A = this chain, B = another copy of it.
């Protein structure tokens, strides 16, 4: 297996509803990535595209082919990945193997979504199809309900009283919004206080408005190349050194593990083992904070904190730049925004620029290893590890 490098990224602003089509949004990100890599569209040998709701948001399924050909990458294989919020992380992992195997030298990967364009109510209802649609969604298990339930289980299992947990969760959102201030691509540039969170309206007890990430419009893209090709293009390649992916049955099938998601632990183990590192080696992490409670659960399962202790870590600043493990310094899904199919590629883009020292005000100094964690619905997890390659 060959080493696989990231050599270019593109990232539209993550926004409220836009008038652009998904293909137009993705094309923007894709052309930026190709240009940043110093390549041309015709150099791309394949496209791997994460998209989740295109059929619903604008009646366009299978947009990958038109997207490839619209940017001038004529007739290349173009494949769509749908793994809910993890769609473009799956696309990155898959693109990795096509390059690592030696089959391709240069590929384009990314994701796009126009979730904000659907409106929050319709998007929430539609997105509930990414839970179990026969037994669980009809019982009321939309995603806010699911994560609210996990918060109750978390409180109970680890003995963190609910009012205390709400304060800890609030701190997650406060930190994300603080970092979002310095990310020009973020949807929200607005600092919030713990009181803002705790005084927000209740979405699904105990989750209040500012415990929840938005639905966003946006796209992100990456160019992946072989190590040999990377040498021609840059002195500062970032290598993908660990990949992991795992699945779960419907939530009721996970009841012995909850609020832990065993799939996340399996996926993370695969990635750590392949990279030959341990959690303490990771210098920064972008994880799936679709809801504030999701951040606590993820950070623990990734091995950064003891179970039941992540909330305290956030409160102590251990997840800030300079702390034990900076988490979501991009602003995360909460402040940067969450265009579902684009989120994984966006997380990887953040790690790429951090490892290259290009993250400006939110730079994690000296970062050499970064990890992304993306959760798709309640059934898919993808973990990616990137390392500074020079």
Residues of A within 8 A of B (CB): 1, 21, 46-47, 52, 55-56, 58-62, 64-66, 68-70, 74-84, 90, 94, 97-98, 100-103, 129-130, 132-134, 137, 245-250, 253, 262-263, 266, 376-377, 379-380
Contact = CB atoms under 8 A, between A and B. Distances in A.
B76 A83 contact: no
Given A55-B129, A58-B134, A66-B132, 19 more contacts: A1-B103, A55-B56, A58-B133, A60-B129, A61-B82, A62-B84, A62-B130, A65-B379, A66-B250, A68-B247, A69-B253, A69-B379, A75-B246, A75-B262, A75-B263, A76-B247, A78-B379, A79-B83, A79-B245
A224 to B, nearest CB: 14
Among A133, A253, A379, A380, chain B packs the most CB atoms within 10 A around the CB of: A133
A248 B75 contact: yes
9 contacts: A21-B134, A58-B134, A59-B133, A62-B82, A75-B247, A76-B247, A79-B81, A79-B245, A97-B101
A253 B67 CA distance: 12
Contacts of A77: 245-247
Q: How many copies does the complex hold?
A: 2
A81 B84 contact: no
Contact of A249 (B69, B79, B245): B69
Contacts of A59: 129, 133, 137
Contacts of A245: 46, 77, 79
Contacts of A130: 61-62
A66 B378 CA distance: 10
Contact of A65 (B64, B103, B380): B380
Nearest to A264: B75
A79 B102 CA distance: 21
Nearest to A131: B62
A200 to B, nearest CB: 29
A81 B81 CA distance: 5
Contacts of A133: 58-61
A140 to B, nearest CB: 15
Contact of A60 (B75, B79, B134, B380): B134
